[in-house]
Amino acid sequence: KRPAGAPDKALAQKVTKVGVIGAGLMANQFALLFVRRLQVPVVITDLDQTRVDKGIASIRGEIDALLQKKRISPDEANRLNDLISGTTNKSDFADCDWVIEAVFEELGVKQDVFADVEQYISDTAILATNTSSLSVEQIGEKLAHPERLVGFHFFNPVAVMPLIEVVRTPQTTPEALATAMATAAKLRKNAVITRDTPGFVVNRVLAKLLGEAMYAVDHGTPFEVVDKAVAPLGLPMPPSELLDLVGLKVGAHVLDTHHNAFPDRFYRSENLHKLAEYGTLLEKDSKGKVKGFDKGALKIV
């Protein structure tokens, strides 16, 4: 049975090469997933060679970690390493049939990135954005063919979170939507089709939770108390850890986007912006295990 609103599977286009724009936290994680699950070449670009090299090194490090854990064989590790490449030359995107971006979460930046890459790609390539809360339709406003754009929203950590939100704009073609659904299935993720509305579904709910946690903190409840108080809800991690995982800058930005769209329903935390400048809420050991609250960060509250 087709999921609600899903187009005919037969309309899905073949994905034989993937282009990834951005070599940051999310892009590196999903680039690895694409190469593992689709077994096709994946080419990654960013603003300069240093950023590209850093992204590629992080992906190769993850491939090595999978090998060490014996999740993949040495042959598989070699194959994945061969299929991944970095470039600063957009002509390398010419034969990509699926191009996805995870650049800075700023409307103008994403619009320009797509308008630029469209000059290099084929007419039939599908474009996807990993935006977490911007309007996909607005992101496509500078495209000659906005109907080929679809939202494809991953969650952090990409390797383990089971969901992708596939966002349909009023223009998105059934072919683009079908390709997105088929690609999500190949990545072994559950996909839901959402409306192009601020925060889609997941972040709308998450922004409420994290916004209320920040409201409590900003009005005098220590973060430790908020974490302890919500523990009975059975969240996989307390609000402080979730904010650190998402990234305080991204978290503050997501809250702002929701607040701007629905000022009377979502809280904007100035304090979270200050904390984001500081960096992190929690101290962690070298393995990423939480040691406790970062005392410097708590002083800012």
Query: Catalytic residue positions?
Result: 153
User: Which of 5, 61, 157, 222 is the binder for ligand 3HC (CB under 6 A)?
Assistant: 157
Q: Does residue 293 sit in helix, strand or coil?
A: strand
Closest CB to ligand 3HC: residue number: 132
As given in the structure block, the two tokens for residue 219 are 């009005």
Shortest distance, CB of residue 288 to ligand 3HC, whole angstroms? 7
At residue 71, φ and ψ (nearest 5 deg) are -80, -25
Considering the rule CB under 6 A, would residue 10 count as an interface residue with ligand 3HC? no
**Binding-site string for ligand 3HC from residue 18 to residue 37, where x marks contact by CB under 6 A and - marks none:** --------------------
User: Which of 254, 255, 272, 297 is the binder for ligand 3HC (CB under 6 A)?
Assistant: 254
Residue type present at position 131: T
d(CA 114, CA 127): 8
**Binding-site string for ligand 3HC from residue 229 to residue 248, where x marks contact by CB under 6 A and - marks none:** -------xx----x--xx--
CB 170 within 8 A of CB 137: yes
The secondary structure of residue 11, as a DSSP letter, is: G
Shortest distance, CB of residue 220 to ligand 3HC, whole angstroms? 26
94/237 with CB nearer ligand 3HC: 237
CB 41 within 8 A of CB 137: no
Beta bridge partners of 151: 129, 167
Considering the rule CB under 6 A, would residue 103 count as an interface residue with ligand 3HC? no
At residue 252, φ and ψ (nearest 5 deg) are -65, -40
Considering the rule CB under 6 A, would residue 206 count as an interface residue with ligand 3HC? yes
80/178 with CB nearer ligand 3HC: 80
132/179 with CB nearer ligand 3HC: 132
Shortest distance, CB of residue 262 to ligand 3HC, whole angstroms? 17
Q: What is the dihedral of CA 215, 216, 221, 224, to 10 degrees?
A: -100
Site residues (CB under 6 A) for ligand 3HC? 132, 155-157, 159-161, 203, 206, 236-237, 242, 245-246, 250, 254
